[in-house]
Each structure stands twice: as C-alpha cells, then as structure tokens.
Structure 1
Amino acid sequence: MEPQGEKPAEGEGVRITPQLLKARTGEFALESILLLRLRSLGLADLGCLGECLGLEWLDLSGNALTHLGPLASLRQLTVLNVSNNRLTTLEPLATCENLQSLNAAGNLLATPGQLQCLTGLRGLEYLRLRDPLARLSNPLCTNPSYWAGVRELLPGLKVIDGERVTGRGSELYQLCRDLDSSLRPSSSPGPRATEAQPWVEPGYWESWPTRSSSILEEACRQFQDTLQECRDLDLQATNSLAQAEQALSPAGATSSFIF
C-alpha cells in the first residue's frame, strides 16, 4: 500500500510529513536521506522536506506544487525535477548552491525574469523548461527568442531543453556521433583496418563506482536493470527467429513445430 502523508482537508493536496518520508525511504533520520522520489502523489505542501539537509537527488514531478519554499535549505541538492506542477517562481532555489540539473518543464513560468534567481548557481549546467515528448512547457517558451534569452541570462548552461548550447544537436546525437567516429575503419594498411572491435572490454558493464555516492549507485542500478531487459529481449528475439526459421524450412524437413 502506498504510504501517505497527513490526510488533506477537502480540496487540499497531500502534505509531506516525517512519517511519509521515513516510510518511503526506510531512513529514521531525515538528514540521512540522499535520494528521494515523490512523483505523482498529489503533493501541494512540501512540509518538512527542508529538514532533509543531506538530500542530493529529488524528484517532485507530477504534483500540485505552487511554491518550493522548503527547498531553500537544501544546500547539497544536485539534481531536481519539479516538472508538471503549478510553479510561478523558482526563487527558493537561489540558495541551492550545488544544483547542477533542473527540470522545470510544465509549470507556469511566464517571463525570463523568473529565472533571474538561478544566475548565482555557478554549477547549474542542465535546464529544461519544455519537453515536447511529454507535452510539457511554460508560458515563457512561446516567445521565439526565449532560448537565446535563457542562454544569455545563464551563460554557464551546457544543455537547454535537451539541446547542447554549443555544438550540433542533442546530447544523444553527440554521443552517437562519437560512437560512429570510434567505429570508422583505421587508415593503416592490413587486414585489421576494417575489423570491428568491441566498444568496451569484457566485464565493463558490470563495473560499479569505486566511491560511495547515492546518485551514482542509483544510476548504476537503473542501468543494470535496463541492461538485463535488453538481454531478455535479445533472448526472446533469438528464440522467435529460430522458431521462424524452423517454420520456414523446406517441406519435409520436419513434421511438427512447437511454439
């Protein structure tokens, strides 16, 4: 059963309480929570969230938040997702000095001036204000020059709305370009010139971070899960192809098939 916060009054949203946080994380001390997902819980009040002073990674997407006041005390916060809420200001984030990535798509930010509070965040590199795939945006994004305005206001950004500030295309595009380059045949003569080589050494994907970090550990867990899904899909595809080849083999080669 999904843990709940304090029971809201009629017409109000859910409020974050110590009980809710402890039930979702298993931590007894709020200061010990490093990573927190509170997605789509109907949250309207962040309550005691400001007491999670060690928090590094926070997902508050898909709620009913209109303010972020308690986040002002989270000086260790590195990654924040507040997409798909009802925010008209990001002012409390001005003191989140370690913030590197912010997703605020799908809110009510109407002017570039509402991003002025982010200018002091020297480590902020990734900002999302619109997400076409999720059909999320902000009113300020309707201005054709908003992208250039954001870039001028926050010159330290490397990626805006998933697009690289310098270079061509998205980060994924650039990654694919780098991979393509690494697979180009060598210019040196000999039979090895056209041989395709593995991208990484055997066992590379099983590596884990050598230093403790909740963000790195969580990323590795998600990657391992995705990698296992790919292996399962590959096995299913191999089995399906084998069955198809058997079914399409010349008549008389086999008399029956089991699917």
Structure 2
Amino acid sequence: MESRSGKEQAPESGAVTHEMLKSRTGEFDLESILFLKLRDVGLHDLGCLGECLNLERLDLSGNHISHLGPLSSLKLMVALNLSSNRISSVEPLALCDSLQTLNVAGNLLCSVENLSCLRGLRKLESLRLRDPLYALSNPLCNNATYRHSVLDAVPSVRVIDGERVAGSGSDLYHLCKDIDNSLKRFIGGGALDAPGAVKPWVEEGYWELKPTQSAIMEETYKQFNDVLQECKELGRRADDAIAQAERTLDVRHQPNSYVF
C-alpha cells in the first residue's frame, strides 16, 4: 500500500523480515522470489534478505542502507539498484558472481579503491556512480578522471553512468557521432536539400511508453524513460556545442574546406 505522499509505507522496524517479504511477493518460500522492489520504504537493515537465494533483480533505492552484508549470499543476482542510500563499502557484493548491472549513484563512496573489491566480478558490465538526471553522485565522482580509474579497478565494466566507455561498442558510438556531426555541418553549408529533407526515423511519440499494471514492467519503463530523457538532454547539449563550434570556425564561409 502506498502513502498519500506517493511513497510506500516503511516497515515499523526498518528491517527486512520474513513477513514483509511474504506479504509483498505472495511467496511463502523466500527462495521462490526472483524479482523484488523495496524502493523508498525506509529500510536501514537488510535483515533476512540473504535468504532469497534465487533472487535475480533487486531494487533497494531510496532507503537508509549502509551495510550490505546479507547480499553476499545472492549468487544469482543479475541487477541491483542501491541508488540513494548511505553506502560507503560494497565489499559484500564481491561474492555476487552473476552481477551484471549495479547502480550505486547517490551514496558515500569516497574513493575508487572502494570499488576494487568488485574486480573479480567478470560479468559486471554496467556500473552507475552518478545520475545527473536525479542529481545523484558519490564523492569519488568529484575527480574529473574517475571513469578512467574505475576502468582500471574493475576491468570488466563496459558502461559507466549510462555511457559506453570500453569495447567495440564505444568505438562504433564515437564513429557514428563523428559522422553525424559532419553531416550536420554539411547540411548547414547548403550542400544538401533544405531543412525538412532529413526526417526522424520514427514519428513523434513513438518511444513514449504506456503504463502497465505489472510492477516489473513499470520499473523497466521508468528506467527506459530515464535513459531516454538523458539521451535527449545530451542531444540538446551536442547541438549547442556544434552550433558554437560552427560560429567559432565559421565553416560556412570556407567552401574549400573538407569535413572529416
């Protein structure tokens, strides 16, 4: 049940209990729970959560959690959202061998050394430490080069803060970006048809998703829309940067210049 403020009522003890898990999931056997969402419920103690041995996806965002000990037994967990908590150490997660996606934005991780314990997680590919959309970060993100340090500490990571930073996907991303920027400048110089000839791939509103009664799908839609909004913001900033560069270089008045 949700409160009038939109957040779910917190358990009286602030801890995860057998009764709480059974009432929320409808599962009598905790090992039958595969997906669990405990967002914004005032938790500070993970209690018996470690008994959900087959748990694959877990959302604990927006709580008061500081210790992750019980999570060390969740060997099958694939995706974990711990954003907006009070976490200063992720060491227990070093035993979560199946972990692929980890969100710890909005916590108290002060140094990349706090992440070195994740080095053995060979399946961990996506790590979020900062989420500008919700103004979430970690103290270690104050270092402008923290992403490079994270890659050294956790070599398996391919995506940091939603941006691909390693692997062939990164090369392809930068190549496409360069081509796109060149085409925009080319169009700006009048070499192609007038504006309007280039149309979006899909109609306006195509990516807008409708709500569903499934909690899992609602969460999936929300995460997708968050990423989509972030992409739109990045696109807007890119357009501003391109316009500024064109004004600076005055490429439109250099008909003999070449664009690469």
What is the TM-score of this pair, normalised by structure 1?
0.63
Deviation at 1:221, TM superposition (A): 9.3
Partner amino acid, structure 2, of 1:7: E
Deviation at 1:170, TM superposition (A): 7.8
Deviation at 1:153, TM superposition (A): 1.4
1:97-148 CA-to-partner distances (Å, cap 9, x unmatched) read 0000000000000011100110000000000000011100000000111111
Q: Would the aligned equivalents of 1:4 and 1:20 in 2 still touch at CA under 8 Å?
A: no
Distance 2:10 2:17 in 1: 6
Distance 1:170 1:62 in 2: 32
Structure 2 unaligned regions, length at least 5: 3-7, 181-198, 203-214, 225-260
5 Å-filtered alignment, 1:197-236, equals 218-219=216-217
Distance 1:15 1:156 in 2: 33
Partner amino acid, structure 2, of 1:90: V
Partner amino acid, structure 1, of 2:36: L
Aligned to 2:75: 75
1:54-99 CA-to-partner distances (Å, cap 9, x unmatched) read 0000000000001101000000000000000000100000000000
Change in Cα spacing, 1:222 to 1:6, as seen in structure 2 (3 Å) is closer
Aligned to 1:24: 24
Larger Rg: 1
Partner amino acid, structure 2, of 1:157: V
Percentage of identical aligned residues: 53
Q: Secondary structure at the match of 2:20?
A: helix
Give me the CA root mean square deviation.
3.1
Tell me if 1:106 matches 2:106: yes
Q: Would the aligned equivalents of 2:126 and 2:160 in 1 still touch at CA under 8 Å?
A: yes
Aligned to 1:89: 89
Distance 2:144 2:172 in 1: 18
Q: Would the aligned equivalents of 2:11 and 2:43 in 1 still touch at CA under 8 Å?
A: no
Q: Secondary structure at the match of 1:36?
A: strand
Change in Cα spacing, 1:41 to 1:152, as seen in structure 2 (3 Å) is same
Deviation at 1:154, TM superposition (A): 1.5
Q: Secondary structure at the match of 2:36?
A: strand
Q: Would the aligned equivalents of 1:104 and 1:129 in 2 still touch at CA under 8 Å?
A: yes
Q: Secondary structure at the match of 2:134?
A: coil
Distance 1:222 1:94 in 2: 26
Distance 2:119 2:50 in 1: 22
Q: Would the aligned equivalents of 2:10 and 2:43 in 1 still touch at CA under 8 Å?
A: no
Aligned to 1:7: 12
Distance 1:105 1:169 in 2: 27
Distance 2:45 2:218 in 1: 31
Partner amino acid, structure 1, of 2:64: A
Partner amino acid, structure 1, of 2:126: Y
Distance 2:173 2:60 in 1: 25
Distance 1:131 1:4 in 2: 25
